[in-house]
Structure 1
Amino acid sequence: MLVALTLGLAIVVAVIALFMGVFLVMEPDKEMTSRLLSLTTSAGEAPEPDESQGKIGGKLNKPVGKAMNRLGLSGNIAHKLAQANMAITPSEYYIITAGLMLGALLLGWVLTRIFAVGMAAALVAYMIPGSRLKSAHSKRQQNFTHQLPDLIMMLVSSLRAGYGLVHAINIVVSEMPSPSSEEFERVVQEIALGFSLRQALAHMVERIESDDLGLMVTAINIQHEVGGNLSEILETISNTIRERVRIKGEIQVMTTQQRYTGYALVGMPFILAVIISVINPGYMSEMFQPGWPMFIPIGALIMIFMGFILMRKMIRIDF
């Protein structure tokens, strides 16, 4: 019994450490950003990273990276890591994911003695790095969209002052905060490497995946082909985007109550479980005995998770 408890405690500590690794290491890093900005590929994706420079996994980085390259798994993850501005390589991403899955598998099995529970825990752990990656990309995309109206007006002012578009982009790089400055700096880098302005802007749209940015780039491309007053076109687009951002903000305010209601409904079962456990410890402990009783809390957790996802989808308004 003591051995099992010790092993379980060690696994818990290991899983907590891995979770901390995901949230601390998978953070945007200025040094990594500079490395990504300094290179590019013809497809506009992130360059193939040097796996030997990884901070996680040590000597495992190279073989894991080679294996992922053979399986064709590195390119997609490298592109997503570049979109999210994550300071890790694809091999490090897979090492973190494998470590989380192994830790969750062992933890679930040691605590319940049911292998299926361990597998379910490993499946949940598998989704954590991907969710973190998606969240970081979404946040970066949102920040870029909020900066876009001011960015466009800066381009308009530069064009009206008599500067060319490329020079106006250089002004954006020097004056705008991240992530706008980083993305437009990469556009300048690609132009210096021989890409056309059209290609460099298309690559930026692929990285950011913003409809508003796509609208701006389309206007620039059309003006480049047929002519016209680009500053007036961009000013109109800036006002349109600013209005869209304002309406989105109003929608966020109008759905605040529903969002927090969802959070409260998700948190309520856990709060009640803690209160009941304090008042009458034996009442809750029966559900956590090895064997079939463990399926009761597992089923409850699955239904809570599904309900939370459903509520999030119901209050999400896309336009």
Structure 2
Amino acid sequence: MELHDLVRLTTGVALLTCVLAVVGVHVYASGRAQRAALIDRLSHTGTVPGGGRRRRFSDLDRRLRRTALGRKLELRLAATGLDVTPGEFFVYMLAAVAALWLIGQATLAPFFGPLAGLLGIWASVQFLNWQRQKRIERFINQLPELARILANATQAGLALRTAIGMAAEELEAPAGEELAKVADQLAIGHSMDDALGELAERLPSRELVVLVTTLVLSNRAGGQVVGALRNLTETLEERKETRREVRTQLSQVTMTSYAVPVLGIGALFLMNGVKDGALERMTGSPVGQACVVIAFALYAVGFVLIRRMSRIDV
């Protein structure tokens, strides 16, 4: 009898342990899923309720964000305004590198495969820089209207925080999106200096720095913010026209900087087309490989020098 009771007690304890284990695993899994969903919402990588698209490579994206490279890439993507996560961009970049590697190796010579892969990485970085600069230019063009809205709102007696939220609703992207981020940061307790400082770091420009400095000083020490914003509006309008004229004058030089490396790559295809296998024989020796590397380096130096010489800060 005592042995039978001991067996029943042991069986009951084992069943209870199994039930608790199942409940514990379920709670752990649901908690981990909620944590992942919260991270996705905070980092704008999840599916937006009621719309949006499903994000790809979410596991890779979470692992990449924990690294220094992933954090830098996330900041760069945030500045471009692209609806792409760091994980997605990283996978797309690797796919482009692999495709260029295979194309360069198949169409030219095996030696050009790694060079084409490096070209893919450079092109991806340049694409992000181009998108970021384009967004900065669009934001700069909206700064006069932004300063005008802030001046009218503060003249009507509204606080600067309220004026920023109003401007975020009235302005289109990218100014509306960036100001919405500033308003959200202010709503959760960030100071005006920190919120506007992060805005200036995301979209660096002299015009935005002047506007941010004016708002920060007016918020910190008080003063005639309305008059300062109205004067700043006129100045920004003049700088906007000046920047447009300078960009128009330098458009030919900009196209020349891109035409130089394109001509070099086109010459390689021309040589290989005139005499099939010429590039493979040329790169079959260390001297030929060194000459190709030096030629690519000179083209890169020419591209950088032309861009630097045509850069005029207004």
One-letter amino acid matched to 2:95: G
One-letter amino acid matched to 2:101: L
Matched residue, 1:208 = 203
Q: Within 5 Å, give how 1:238-249 maps onto structure 2.
A: 238-249=233-244
Matched residue, 2:182 = 187
Distance 1:202 1:266, change over 3 A: closer
Matched residue, 1:123 = 118
Partner Cα distance (2:147, 2:250) in 1: 29
Distance 1:225 1:283, change over 3 A: closer
One-letter amino acid matched to 1:164: A
Structure 1 counterpart of 2:94, from 90, 95, 98: 98
Matched residue, 2:173 = 178
Partner Cα distance (1:65, 1:80) in 2: 15
Could you give the per-residue CA deviations for residues 11-54 of structure 1, whole angstroms, max 9, x where no partner exists? Answer: xxxxxxxxxxxxxxxxxxxxxxxx99x74xxxxxxx38459x86
**Structure 1 length as normaliser, TM-score?**
0.70
Displacement of 1:292 after TM fit? 3.0
Could you give the per-residue CA deviations for residues 213-245 of structure 1, whole angstroms, max 9, x where no partner exists? Answer: 221121122122322110001112222222222
Q: Are the counterparts in 1 of residues 161 and 186 from structure 2 also a CA contact under 8 Å? A: no
Could you give the per-residue CA deviations for residues 81-138 of structure 1, whole angstroms, max 9, x where no partner exists? Answer: 1111121221112212222222222333334453x32111111111222211111111
Matched residue, 1:227 = 222
User: Is the partner of 2:68 in helix, strand or coil?
Assistant: coil
Matched residue, 1:196 = 191
Partner Cα distance (1:171, 1:237) in 2: 19
Matched residue, 1:77 = 73
User: Is the partner of 1:209 in helix, strand or coil?
Assistant: coil
Structure 1 spans left out of the alignment, 5+ residues: 1-34, 40-46
Partner Cα distance (1:54, 1:284) in 2: 49
Partner Cα distance (1:209, 1:291) in 2: 46
Q: Are the counterparts in 2 of residues 205 and 213 from structure 1 also a CA contact under 8 Å? A: yes
Q: Are the counterparts in 2 of residues 160 and 231 from structure 1 also a CA contact under 8 Å? A: yes
RMSD: 3.3
Partner Cα distance (1:301, 1:168) in 2: 52
Could you give the per-residue CA deviations for residues 192-233 of structure 1, whole angstroms, max 9, x where no partner exists? Answer: 222233322222222222222221121122122322110001
Matched residue, 2:12 = none
Q: Are the counterparts in 1 of residues 148 and 230 from structure 2 also a CA contact under 8 Å? A: yes
Establish whether residue 258 from structure 1 lines up as the match of residue 253 from structure 2. Answer: yes
Displacement of 1:254 after TM fit? 3.0
One-letter amino acid matched to 1:233: A
Q: Are the counterparts in 1 of residues 64 and 87 from structure 2 also a CA contact under 8 Å? A: yes
Displacement of 1:156 after TM fit? 0.9
User: Is the partner of 2:223 in helix, strand or coil?
Assistant: coil
Displacement of 1:186 after TM fit? 1.4
Partner Cα distance (2:168, 2:299) in 1: 45
Q: Are the counterparts in 2 of residues 112 and 290 from structure 1 also a CA contact under 8 Å? A: no
Percent identity, aligned pairs only, is 24
Partner Cα distance (1:101, 1:260) in 2: 25
